[in-house]
Amino acid sequence: MRILQICNKSPYPPLEGGPIAMNNITEGLLQEGHSVTILAINTPKYHVDVKTIPAEYKEKTSFEAVYINTRIKTIPALQNILSGKSYHIQRFISKKFENKLVEILKKNTFDIIHLESLYVTPYIHAIREHSKAPIILRTHNIEHLIWSRVASGCKNPIKRSVLLTFAEQLEKYELSVLKQCDGIASITLKDSLFFKQICDRVPVIDIPFGINMNNYTMSEQPEDNDFPSLFYIGSLDWLPNIEGLEWFLDEVWPAINQRHPDLKFYVAGRNMPDRIKNTIAPNVIALGEVADAVEFMRSKSIMLVPLFSGSGIRIKIIEGMAMQKTIISTKIGAEGIHYTNRKNIMIANTPDEFLSAISECVKDKTLCKNIGENARNLVIRENNIEVQIKRLVEFYTMVKDMK
């Protein structure tokens, strides 16, 4: 098949959840013998110097990227509130990007147009005008749900009101545009059930995040895992991550430190805010962006995911599970994963529950070992990239035959 993959950020280099998920699909399709052309949006938040992308990658994907300034601006944001349009979506609309898309569509014939995330759906009209290929939307989240949860957790009433308005406008857009697609490939079963209710005439399938297990090996020396160290890794320019981490540092860490004064907590992530980078919390080591996220995760033992908003699936949890890490997460953080609490993950939602789970894990290395082994087995069963790519291609074929 000839596939045009349109991405809301560059899938290469795969340094955070979204790009990792997109790149794994790219690589998986290429490995199965399909042709993939990539057109990506280059943003200030996840800016990639195209010159640094390996020539081999650019050649095999005919990689193109167009810069769009998606920075949040107060006046346009307020204007969108008054107009009723979703500012989340409007920031990704660019005539320059549309022109590049049209240029690619005029030069090539594709079997499938694969849209990565809601944020590239404003270009559906251009695709329909210049291509007869079915449009498959790969949903990484239920986008409006993320912002509804963020708004609900906001203590400032004015900010909460603005965020709720943004969430409502995004929901209106999201529910309307889903019906314009020929197929929807969600990243979780839970999300797919939601989309099926909304789009009863649009085929929907859940295609979990898939990984190549060979890329996620464990340390040959178990003592290298620095047991019982705690660690966190995530993009720290994403509001749900920032809020969850700050909550943990403020509400949980003081009690953890008091009970386990020698326990260290390593925090890593891109675009770390100064208030986290410069924290004076005892035994918290703020590292910022690490050179090799997989190697960092491999070197530590117990992974924390304190998340109270968001949707879809946490890629870093899947990666941690693949490396046999004990993971302590909130229920929302673990959404989309077919986990069993205390078998392949530990669930904690309150300060007391986090304190209890962490205390239990740091005192019981055998418990951590068992949870980690069960976690890796779960990922082997459900997140094998070869299996998921085959399912995705079968879905492509079914939708293409229906069109």
CATH number at residue 274: 3.40.50.2000
Specify whether 176 is located in the same domain as 283: no
pTM equals 0.88
Alpha-carbon gap, residue 253 to 334, rounded angstroms: 21
Write the DSSP symbol of residue 256. H
CA 174 – CA 165 distance, rounded (Å): 14
Work out how many domains the chain is built from and give that number: 2
11-34 pLDDT, tens per residue? Answer: 999 988 899 999 999 999 999 999
Arithmetic mean of pLDDT over the chain: 93
155 with 201, same domain?
yes
Q: What's the rounded Cα separation, in Å, for the pair 138 and 387?
A: 17
User: How high is the pLDDT of residue 25?
Assistant: 97
Same domain, 360 and 373: yes
Q: Are residues 259 and 115 in the same domain?
A: no
Residues 179 and 93 grouped into a single domain: yes
CA–CA separation, 226 vs 296, rounded Å? 11
Domain enclosing residue 165, as ranges:
2-210+384-402
Do 106 and 202 lie in one domain? The reply is yes
Among 198, 192, 188, smallest CA distance to 335 is for 188
The pLDDT value given to residue 364: 95
- What band does 219 get if pLDDT is binned at 50, 70 and 90? low
Whether residues 115 and 78 fall in one domain = yes
d(CA 47, CA 241): 19
Q: What is the pLDDT of residues 342-390, one digit of tens each?
A: 999 999 999 999 999 999 999 999 999 999 999 999 999 999 999 999 9
Does 225 lie in the same domain as 77? no
Q: Are both 158 and 220 inside the same structural domain?
A: no
The answer on 174 and 38 residing in a single domain is: yes
371 three-state secondary structure: helix
The tens digit of pLDDT for each residue in 65-115 reads 999 999 988 877 778 777 888 989 999 999 999 999 999 999 999 999 999
Say whether both 109 and 239 belong to one domain: no
pLDDT value of position 83: 84
**Over the stretch 125-164, which tens digit does the pLDDT of each residue have?**
999 999 999 999 999 989 898 889 888 888 889 889 888 9
Are 10 and 132 in the same domain?
Answer: yes
* pLDDT higher than 60, residue 224: no
Overall average pLDDT of the 240-268 stretch: 96
Q: Which two tokens stand for residue 338?
A: 């077919």
CB-based contact 184:141 (threshold 8 Å): no
Could you give the CA distance from residue 260 to residue 238 in angstroms, rounded to a whole number?
30
Question: How far is 403 from 399, CA to CA, in rounded Å?
Answer: 6
